[in-house]
Amino acid sequence: MPESITKMTQDIVLEGNSPAKEVAKKIGKPYSTLLREINPFDNNAKLGARTLLDILKVTNDVKLLEQIANSVGYTIKPRGEQTA
């Protein structure tokens, strides 16, 4: 993948439509803990799969999910979308 999952998550949280402090509150993480977990340069902190999923749900941002799917040869589509 061109960008790391952690870096893309950091971009979603810090540059998304919701303030990062609001994202932290909604997923039940202290703001400072969230910032550390999404820091791609902190090798001692890890972004857990559950936290990643919570971030994607709260931000409703699917760019990262699309990138992951694309890297393994899949595409995603919204629920309810009809296939031809």
Q: What is the pLDDT along the chain (84 residues), one digit of tens a residue?
A: 556 899 999 999 999 999 999 999 999 999 999 999 999 999 898 999 999 999 999 999 999 999 999 999 999 998 886 665
Residue 40 inside a domain? The answer is yes
Residue 37 inside a domain? The answer is yes
Question: How many domains does one find in the chain?
Answer: 1
Q: Which domain holds residue 34?
A: 5-63
Residue 81 inside a domain? The answer is no
Predicted local distance difference test score (pLDDT) of residue 79: 86
- Least Cα distance to 9 among 36, 38, 29 occurs for 38
Predicted local distance difference test score (pLDDT) of residue 83: 60
- Least Cα distance to 42 among 5, 6, 9 occurs for 6
Is the pTM higher than 0.75?
yes
Residue 49 inside a domain? The answer is yes
Residue 70 inside a domain? The answer is no
